[in-house]
């Protein structure tokens, strides 16, 4: 039997990858037969890392490409730090869950 494949999008930073791996582990705990693939997505915020966020568009710069990948079906879910999520989120998308906070001293 073929297992269901889930594509999890995340940025390529060390923190983002660690968070995505935690989600992958949790998914396997509940759905052991699932096939989870981590997809690294480069965001505008990653490309423009020499300019302050306020000059180039704020927090949403780390989300735009993740949102587009969700809306086009390239990924099934995205993992991202809430600190970079703007108060008003993208139309057509929801935040279905939030993981328990890890140490704030990372």
Nearest Cα to 27, choosing from 57, 51, 7, 1?
A: 7
Extended strands (E) in the chain: 5-10, 35-40, 77-78
Catalytic annotation present for 84: yes
What is the gyration radius of the CA atoms in the chain, in angstroms?
A: 14
| Catalytic residue of the set 33, 46, 76, 84 | 84
Enzyme catalytic residues: 84
């Amino acid at each position: 039997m073929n297992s269901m494949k889930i594509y999890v999008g995340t940025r390529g930073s060390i923190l983002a990858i660690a968070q995505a791996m935690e989600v992958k582990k949790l998914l396997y705990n509940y759905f052991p037969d699932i096939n989870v693939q981590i997809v690294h997505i480069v965001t505008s915020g990653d490309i423009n890392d020499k300019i302050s966020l306020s000059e180039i568009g704020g927090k949403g710069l780390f989300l735009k490409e993740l949102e587009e990948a969700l809306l086009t079906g390239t990924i099934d879910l995205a993992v991202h730090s809430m600190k970079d999520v703007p108060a008003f989120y993208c139309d057509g998308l929801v935040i279905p869950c939030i993981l328990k906070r890890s140490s704030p001293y990372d």
